[in-house]
Structure 1
Amino acid sequence: MPALTLTLCGLLFGCGGQPEDGESTEVLDAPDTQVMPAEGAEGTVTASAISTMSVFGASVSFNSNGDNFTVRDTAADGHSAVAHIYNSNTGSYSFCWNSSGSGTSVTCNRNFAEGILIRFRACTGEAGTGRLVNCSDWKTVSTAN
């Protein structure tokens, strides 16, 4: 009975492990996986310098190459999107507000000292009063050297 089951399985579902009619059983050579780069293709590869934090209604990206914050308003919730920024070098806090409405982005440029740690988080808030409504956790990043 097991042989009949295997034969039936092979005929109905192609799971018999035997080659189909006209199918080759020859082993093909594997292609050469060591490909040399084209002449003059040298270059420097760098890791991404962009870090992002999000909370419902806001997304904040920091690009350490240029010290730019991009603040995106991601919800039509009546709140502004804001980056809340802490500079560990000076001990000061600052903000980058986007009060332009859902679907918009605002970029703020900061000129941090090179190689310091900063912290930022994405928040929603009331631009008129400066009150923060909801914020993500803090993210610590280093400015570019």
Structure 2
Amino acid sequence: MRFRTRFGYVAGALAASTALLFATASAASAGSDGGSVVDPTRGATAWFKHYGDVFWVEDTKADGHSAVVRVYVPSVGIAHNLFNPDGKGTARYKSYGTAIPEGTTVYYQACIGENGNKTIISCTPGWAKGVA
């Protein structure tokens, strides 16, 4: 009987520890990547990866314009345009790291623009979103 009591105590402690481990793991990975925004007409692709809060932009068209990802995170006051002037087939990224709190919704668009004067020419309609 004593063995069962100890075993029951150990099993209960083990179950509680396992539950805490899973709860912590799911809370830590609350973010979600955003989908890719592909605009072949404009020649830009943008996407978001929640690990490191990284926004990417790829130039997909040799048209003399820069691909741009418009980043908007209203809850923390971020409104930024990341230009990629490197030409077709290249990608650039910007990591916001800890500037965006976990669980925050982020928005982004794929655009084209002029890197020299930092002007946006046109963007995909609507905003894609992810969670930091």
Structure 2 length normalisation: TM-score? 0.67
Paired residue total? 99
Q: Which moved more, 1:52-61 or 1:78-87?
A: 52-61
Q: Gaps (5+ residues) in structure 1?
A: 1-43
3-state SS of paired residue (2:89): coil
Q: Is the 8 A contact 2:34 2:130 kept in 1?
A: no
Displacement after TM superposition at 1:48 (Å): 6.8
Displacement after TM superposition at 1:54 (Å): 2.0
Q: Is the 8 A contact 2:34 2:128 kept in 1?
A: no
Cα deviation 1:90-135 (Å, max 9, x = unaligned): 2331121110011111121112111111110000000111111110
Q: Is the 8 A contact 2:33 2:131 kept in 1?
A: no
Could you say which structure has the higher helix fraction?
Answer: 2
Q: Which has the higher contact order (CA 8 A, sep 6+)?
A: 2
Q: Is the 8 A contact 1:67 1:109 kept in 2?
A: yes
Q: Which has the larger radius of gyration?
A: 1
Q: Is the 8 A contact 1:76 1:102 kept in 2?
A: yes
Return the alpha-carbon distance in structure 2 between the equivalents of residues 84 and 117 of structure 1: 14
Return the alpha-carbon distance in structure 1 between the equivalents of residues 96 and 82 of structure 2: 10
3-state SS of paired residue (2:35): strand
Return the alpha-carbon distance in structure 1 between the equivalents of residues 129 and 32 of structure 2: 15
Q: Is the 8 A contact 2:32 2:50 kept in 1?
A: no
After superposition, residues 72-91 of structure 1 pair within 5 angstroms as 72-91=58-77
Q: What percentage of residue pairs aligned between the two structures are identical?
A: 32
Q: Gaps (5+ residues) in structure 2?
A: 1-24
Which residue of the other structure, out of 130, 139, 142, is the alignment partner of 2:118?
Answer: 130
Give runs of ≥4 in structure 1 deviating > 4 Å.
none
Q: Is the 8 A contact 2:71 2:106 kept in 1?
A: yes
Return the alpha-carbon distance in structure 2 between the equivalents of residues 123 and 135 of structure 1: 4
Q: Is the 8 A contact 1:88 1:116 kept in 2?
A: no
Indicate the RMSD between aligned Cα atoms, in angstroms: 2.1
Structure 1 length normalisation: TM-score? 0.62
